[in-house]
Amino acid sequence: MTKHFLGDTAVLLGRSLRHIARSPDTIITTVVTPIAMLLLFVYVLGGAIQTGTGSYVNYLLPGILLITVASGISYTAYRLFLDLQGGIFERFQSMPIARAAVLWAHVLTSLVANLISLVVVLLVALAMGFRSGMGVLGWLAVTGILTLFILALTWLAVIPGLTASSVDGASAFAYPLIFLPFVSSAFVPTASMPGPVRAFAENQPVTSIVNTLRALFTEQPVGSGIWTALAWCIGLLVVACALAGLTYRRRVG
């Protein structure tokens, strides 16, 4: 049964990746906004922002990476909606294919596409002066956290992808996620914010994840913040996965 599921998922994953390869504008569109923000804040606004660090691009990059993921997962909801409306799910159900494989193929496609987008943004940041002396373990830790974040938001994206009544509705849910880093430590230290805003910024998931990534990039002690970041990522992943699975069973059967 497991072998059957893995084989079906691999085949359907290949199908989705071929669609992306034939339409690279998906990834290009995903990275345009984060790269534009990176350029704007570093070269236009960065000189007026006091972060207490030597390089603003080093300070800014973790938040930009999270915005890249938030931009990318909207395409998961979009692709799911189109497949659902196009009758692809019903067609696959009439074939000897594991039902869960269809959903997992979309999730893994999102993971691959978002990792590619993150690499593109990182290369642009390197060209702009980003530097890190991290070793292999540091890069593995960064990759692990970002992977968990991608999977958590992807499973969250599955829900509107299955329940939306229009293409715009399927992808619009990502907009609040894109703007959430603006009320965090992604662009400026939270100490500069007024009381209520600061309280929200310091206790929302983006801040703990950004601070952990920034500490890893700069080879500073991560402290207990890494456990908070992991708790947010894993907690959101578990809840989103459960809700998405329930929605899938009700919607598709």
Using one digit for the tens of pLDDT, what is the confidence trace for 114-154?
998 899 999 999 999 888 888 899 999 999 999 999 999 99
Stated as kind and residue range, the H or E segment containing 189 is none
Amino acid at 99: R
Which tens digits make up the pLDDT trace of 57-107? 888 999 999 999 988 888 888 888 877 777 666 666 666 666 677 788 888
- What residues contact 240, with CB distance under 8 A and at least 6 apart? 152, 153, 155, 156, 158, 159
Predicted TM-score (pTM) above 0.85: yes
The domain in which residue 117 lies consists of 2-252
Token pair of 154, please?
Answer: 């992807």
pLDDT at 233: 94
Which tens digits make up the pLDDT trace of 164-193? 777 777 777 777 888 888 899 888 888 888
User: What dihedral angle (degrees, nearest 10) is formed by the CA atoms of 90, 96, 100, 106?
Assistant: -70
Number of structural domains (the chain) is 1
* CA atoms 40, 42, 43, 45: torsion sign: positive
User: What SS3 class is residue 128?
Assistant: coil
Which tens digits make up the pLDDT trace of 8-41? 778 777 777 777 777 666 667 778 888 888 888 8
